[in-house]
Protein backbone atom coordinates (compact mmCIF):
# COMPACT_ATOMS: atom_id res chain seq x y z
CA UNK A 1 0.00 0.00 0.00
CA UNK A 2 1.45 3.33 -1.02
CA UNK A 3 0.62 6.88 -2.04
CA UNK A 4 1.67 8.88 -5.06
CA UNK A 5 1.81 12.64 -4.56
CA UNK A 6 0.35 14.33 -7.62
CA UNK A 7 0.72 18.09 -7.14
CA UNK A 8 -0.54 17.89 -3.58
CA UNK A 9 -3.20 15.22 -4.22
CA UNK A 10 -2.32 11.89 -2.61
CA UNK A 11 -3.31 8.97 -4.86
CA UNK A 12 -3.59 5.63 -3.05
CA UNK A 13 -2.46 2.45 -4.78
CA UNK A 14 -1.62 -1.15 -3.92
CA UNK A 15 1.25 -3.17 -5.34
CA UNK A 16 0.68 -6.92 -5.29
CA UNK A 17 3.85 -8.60 -6.58
CA UNK A 18 3.95 -11.98 -8.24
CA UNK A 19 6.25 -14.73 -7.06
CA UNK A 20 6.98 -15.46 -10.71
CA UNK A 21 10.28 -14.14 -12.02
CA UNK A 22 10.10 -11.28 -14.55
CA UNK A 23 6.32 -11.26 -14.27
CA UNK A 24 4.41 -8.80 -16.47
CA UNK A 25 2.21 -6.26 -14.73
CA UNK A 26 -1.50 -5.46 -14.70
CA UNK A 27 -3.10 -2.16 -13.69
CA UNK A 28 -6.79 -2.41 -12.77
CA UNK A 29 -9.07 0.61 -12.32
CA UNK A 30 -12.35 0.44 -10.41
CA UNK A 31 -15.78 1.78 -11.32
CA UNK A 32 -17.34 5.03 -10.19
CA UNK A 33 -18.12 5.01 -6.44
CA UNK A 34 -16.07 1.82 -5.96
CA UNK A 35 -12.45 1.47 -4.76
CA UNK A 36 -9.47 -0.84 -5.18
CA UNK A 37 -11.20 -3.15 -2.69
CA UNK A 38 -13.49 -4.39 -5.46
CA UNK A 39 -10.55 -6.39 -6.86
CA UNK A 40 -9.87 -8.44 -3.71
CA UNK A 41 -11.21 -11.57 -5.37
CA UNK A 42 -8.71 -11.24 -8.20
CA UNK A 43 -5.47 -10.75 -6.27
CA UNK A 44 -4.60 -14.39 -5.61
CA UNK A 45 -5.73 -15.56 -9.04
CA UNK A 46 -3.75 -12.99 -11.00
CA UNK A 47 -0.55 -12.75 -8.97
CA UNK A 48 0.39 -16.35 -9.69
CA UNK A 49 1.82 -15.07 -12.96
CA UNK A 50 1.48 -11.26 -12.94
CA UNK A 51 2.23 -8.30 -10.75
CA UNK A 52 -1.04 -6.52 -9.93
CA UNK A 53 -1.60 -2.84 -9.22
CA UNK A 54 -4.95 -1.51 -8.01
CA UNK A 55 -5.73 2.04 -6.97
CA UNK A 56 -8.36 4.50 -5.73
CA UNK A 57 -9.34 7.28 -8.13
CA UNK A 58 -9.49 10.90 -6.99
CA UNK A 59 -12.40 11.50 -4.65
CA UNK A 60 -12.67 7.77 -3.93
CA UNK A 61 -11.67 5.66 -0.94
CA UNK A 62 -8.21 6.39 0.42
CA UNK A 63 -7.15 8.84 -2.29
CA UNK A 64 -7.40 12.57 -1.79
CA UNK A 65 -10.64 14.49 -2.33
CA UNK A 66 -9.49 17.99 -3.30
CA UNK A 67 -11.96 20.81 -2.71
CA UNK A 68 -11.22 22.35 -6.12
CA UNK A 69 -13.58 20.77 -8.71
CA UNK A 70 -11.01 21.52 -11.43
CA UNK A 71 -8.80 18.79 -9.95
CA UNK A 72 -11.14 16.07 -11.23
CA UNK A 73 -11.03 15.15 -14.90
CA UNK A 74 -10.44 12.37 -17.40
CA UNK A 75 -7.01 13.79 -18.22
CA UNK A 76 -5.93 13.93 -14.57
CA UNK A 77 -7.14 10.37 -14.03
CA UNK A 78 -5.11 9.18 -17.02
CA UNK A 79 -2.12 11.08 -15.69
CA UNK A 80 -2.60 9.43 -12.29
CA UNK A 81 -2.50 6.01 -13.95
CA UNK A 82 0.70 6.84 -15.83
CA UNK A 83 2.22 8.28 -12.66
CA UNK A 84 1.52 5.10 -10.69
CA UNK A 85 3.11 2.91 -13.35
CA UNK A 86 6.19 5.11 -13.48
CA UNK A 87 6.41 5.16 -9.68
CA UNK A 88 6.46 1.35 -9.77
CA UNK A 89 9.15 1.36 -12.45
CA UNK A 90 6.85 -0.16 -15.07
CA UNK A 91 7.25 0.90 -18.69
CA UNK A 92 4.42 -1.22 -20.12
CA UNK A 93 1.49 -3.06 -18.57
CA UNK A 94 -1.80 -4.76 -19.28
CA UNK A 95 -4.38 -2.06 -18.57
CA UNK A 96 -7.88 -2.96 -17.44
CA UNK A 97 -10.89 -1.63 -15.61
CA UNK A 98 -14.59 -1.92 -14.90
CA UNK A 99 -17.25 0.63 -15.87
CA UNK A 100 -15.63 4.06 -15.38
CA UNK A 101 -12.33 2.21 -14.98
CA UNK A 102 -12.86 0.60 -18.37
CA UNK A 103 -13.54 3.94 -20.00
CA UNK A 104 -10.37 5.31 -18.36
CA UNK A 105 -8.52 2.28 -19.73
CA UNK A 106 -9.52 3.30 -23.25
CA UNK A 107 -8.62 6.93 -22.54
CA UNK A 108 -5.25 5.80 -21.17
CA UNK A 109 -4.54 3.79 -24.31
CA UNK A 110 -5.41 6.81 -26.43
CA UNK A 111 -2.94 8.97 -24.49
CA UNK A 112 -0.22 6.37 -23.82
CA UNK A 113 -0.36 3.51 -26.36
CA UNK A 114 3.34 2.90 -25.78
CA UNK A 115 2.63 1.96 -22.14
CA UNK A 116 0.03 -0.72 -23.00
CA UNK A 117 0.62 -4.41 -23.72
CA UNK A 118 -3.06 -5.39 -23.81
CA UNK A 119 -6.45 -4.05 -22.68
CA UNK A 120 -9.21 -5.53 -20.52
CA UNK A 121 -12.63 -3.86 -20.56
CA UNK A 122 -15.21 -5.05 -18.05
CA UNK A 123 -18.87 -3.97 -17.98
CA UNK A 124 -18.06 -0.67 -19.61
CA UNK A 125 -18.81 1.53 -22.58
CA UNK A 126 -16.69 3.66 -24.93
CA UNK A 127 -18.71 6.87 -24.68
CA UNK A 128 -20.93 8.44 -27.33
CA UNK A 129 -20.56 9.66 -30.88
CA UNK A 130 -23.74 11.73 -30.70
CA UNK A 131 -23.97 14.95 -28.73
CA UNK A 132 -27.49 13.93 -27.64
CA UNK A 133 -26.37 10.65 -26.10
CA UNK A 134 -23.44 12.32 -24.37
CA UNK A 135 -25.68 15.07 -23.01
CA UNK A 136 -28.07 12.50 -21.50
CA UNK A 137 -25.14 10.66 -19.88
CA UNK A 138 -23.75 13.90 -18.49
CA UNK A 139 -27.14 14.88 -17.10
CA UNK A 140 -27.18 11.58 -15.22
CA UNK A 141 -23.64 12.21 -13.92
CA UNK A 142 -24.61 15.68 -12.75
CA UNK A 143 -27.68 14.25 -11.01
CA UNK A 144 -25.47 11.79 -9.15
CA UNK A 145 -23.27 14.66 -8.06
CA UNK A 146 -26.27 16.67 -6.88
CA UNK A 147 -27.62 13.68 -4.92
CA UNK A 148 -24.28 13.30 -3.14
CA UNK A 149 -24.26 17.00 -2.33
CA UNK A 150 -27.75 16.74 -0.86
CA UNK A 151 -27.72 13.31 0.81
CA UNK A 152 -24.06 12.60 1.48
CA UNK A 153 -22.74 9.05 1.18
CA UNK A 154 -26.27 7.65 1.61
CA UNK A 155 -26.85 8.55 -2.06
CA UNK A 156 -24.44 5.81 -3.20
CA UNK A 157 -26.99 3.01 -3.04
CA UNK A 158 -26.19 -0.65 -2.49
CA UNK A 159 -24.57 -1.99 -5.65
CA UNK A 160 -22.13 -4.89 -5.31
CA UNK A 161 -19.05 -2.73 -5.93
CA UNK A 162 -20.33 -0.04 -3.55
CA UNK A 163 -20.86 -2.51 -0.70
CA UNK A 164 -17.16 -3.42 -0.64
CA UNK A 165 -16.02 0.23 -0.76
CA UNK A 166 -15.32 2.68 2.04
CA UNK A 167 -15.42 6.40 1.28
CA UNK A 168 -14.73 9.44 3.43
CA UNK A 169 -15.90 12.31 1.22
CA UNK A 170 -19.28 12.68 -0.46
CA UNK A 171 -18.01 15.97 -1.85
CA UNK A 172 -15.09 14.23 -3.54
CA UNK A 173 -17.43 11.71 -5.15
CA UNK A 174 -19.72 14.51 -6.31
CA UNK A 175 -16.76 16.30 -7.91
CA UNK A 176 -15.70 13.01 -9.50
CA UNK A 177 -19.17 12.51 -10.99
CA UNK A 178 -19.15 15.92 -12.62
CA UNK A 179 -15.47 15.95 -13.58
CA UNK A 180 -14.56 12.30 -14.31
CA UNK A 181 -17.78 10.44 -15.02
CA UNK A 182 -19.06 13.13 -17.38
CA UNK A 183 -17.71 13.07 -20.95
CA UNK A 184 -16.89 15.97 -23.25
CA UNK A 185 -16.12 14.55 -26.71
CA UNK A 186 -16.06 11.39 -28.82
CA UNK A 187 -12.31 10.81 -28.95
CA UNK A 188 -12.46 7.53 -27.04
CA UNK A 189 -15.19 5.86 -29.07
CA UNK A 190 -13.59 7.02 -32.32
CA UNK A 191 -10.32 5.35 -31.27
CA UNK A 192 -11.72 1.81 -31.14
CA UNK A 193 -10.90 0.74 -34.74
CA UNK A 194 -7.32 1.89 -34.23
CA UNK A 195 -6.62 -0.31 -31.19
CA UNK A 196 -4.07 -2.88 -32.36
CA UNK A 197 -3.62 -4.65 -29.02
CA UNK A 198 -5.26 -7.86 -27.82
CA UNK A 199 -8.37 -6.74 -25.93
CA UNK A 200 -10.70 -8.65 -23.61
CA UNK A 201 -14.25 -7.27 -23.62
CA UNK A 202 -16.27 -8.89 -20.83
CA UNK A 203 -19.79 -8.15 -19.59
CA UNK A 204 -22.14 -9.73 -17.09
CA UNK A 205 -25.07 -11.52 -18.68
CA UNK A 206 -27.50 -9.51 -16.53
CA UNK A 207 -25.79 -6.14 -17.04
CA UNK A 208 -28.41 -4.99 -19.56
CA UNK A 209 -27.25 -1.35 -19.98
CA UNK A 210 -23.76 -2.48 -21.03
CA UNK A 211 -24.58 -5.44 -23.28
CA UNK A 212 -24.97 -3.25 -26.39
CA UNK A 213 -21.81 -1.20 -25.70
CA UNK A 214 -19.94 -4.48 -25.23
CA UNK A 215 -21.12 -5.76 -28.61
CA UNK A 216 -20.14 -2.46 -30.19
CA UNK A 217 -16.61 -2.55 -28.75
CA UNK A 218 -16.14 -6.21 -29.66
CA UNK A 219 -17.10 -5.43 -33.25
CA UNK A 220 -15.03 -2.26 -33.57
CA UNK A 221 -11.78 -3.35 -31.88
CA UNK A 222 -9.86 -5.55 -34.37
CA UNK A 223 -8.31 -7.97 -31.87
CA UNK A 224 -11.14 -8.14 -29.35
CA UNK A 225 -12.21 -11.27 -27.50
CA UNK A 226 -15.78 -11.07 -26.16
CA UNK A 227 -16.95 -12.89 -23.04
CA UNK A 228 -20.49 -12.83 -21.63
CA UNK A 229 -20.31 -14.01 -18.01
CA UNK A 230 -23.38 -16.05 -17.15
CA UNK A 231 -25.27 -15.07 -14.01
CA UNK A 232 -23.29 -11.87 -13.43
CA UNK A 233 -24.48 -8.28 -13.25
CA UNK A 234 -22.59 -5.01 -13.52
CA UNK A 235 -19.88 -5.96 -11.01
CA UNK A 236 -19.08 -9.17 -12.86
CA UNK A 237 -15.86 -9.81 -10.94
CA UNK A 238 -17.72 -9.69 -7.61
CA UNK A 239 -20.88 -11.50 -8.73
CA UNK A 240 -19.05 -14.43 -10.32
CA UNK A 241 -15.39 -14.28 -9.25
CA UNK A 242 -14.45 -17.80 -10.32
CA UNK A 243 -15.88 -17.41 -13.82
CA UNK A 244 -14.42 -13.93 -14.11
CA UNK A 245 -10.96 -15.05 -13.02
CA UNK A 246 -11.07 -18.01 -15.41
CA UNK A 247 -11.94 -15.71 -18.33
CA UNK A 248 -9.17 -13.28 -17.46
CA UNK A 249 -6.63 -16.06 -16.93
CA UNK A 250 -7.53 -17.56 -20.30
CA UNK A 251 -7.02 -14.18 -21.97
CA UNK A 252 -3.70 -13.57 -20.21
CA UNK A 253 -2.48 -17.05 -21.15
CA UNK A 254 -3.18 -16.24 -24.82
CA UNK A 255 -0.91 -13.18 -24.88
Three-class HEC string of 209-246: HHHHHHHHHHHHCCCEEEEEECCCCCCHHHHCHHHHHH
pLDDT tens digits, one per residue of 16-74: 999 889 999 999 999 999 999 999 999 999 999 999 999 999 999 999 999 999 999 99
Q: What is the pLDDT of residue 161?
A: 75
Q: Does domain 2-254 fall into CATH 3.40.50.1820? A: yes
Compute the mean pLDDT over every residue in the chain, rounded to the nearest whole number. 96
Name beta bridge partners: 16.
Answer: 52
Rounded (5°) CA angle 136-107-88: 140
For residue 103, how many C-alpha atoms fall within 13 Å in the half-sphere facing its CB?
A: 24
Nearest to residue 106, comparing CAs of 222, 31, 189?
189
pLDDT tens digits, one per residue of 230-250: 999 999 999 999 999 999 999
pLDDT tens digits, one per residue of 134-171: 999 999 999 999 999 999 999 997 777 777 788 989 99
Q: What is the pLDDT of residue 207?
A: 97
| pTM for this model (two decimals) | 0.96
pLDDT tens digits, one per residue of 36-48: 999 999 999 999 9
Amino acid sequence: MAELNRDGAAIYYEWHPSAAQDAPSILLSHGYSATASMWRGQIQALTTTHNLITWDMRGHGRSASPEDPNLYSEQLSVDDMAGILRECGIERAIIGGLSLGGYMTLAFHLAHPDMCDALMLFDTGPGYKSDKGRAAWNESANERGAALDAQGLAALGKGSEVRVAEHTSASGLAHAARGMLAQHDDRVIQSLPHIELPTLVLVGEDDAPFRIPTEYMANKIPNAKKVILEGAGHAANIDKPEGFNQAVRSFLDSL
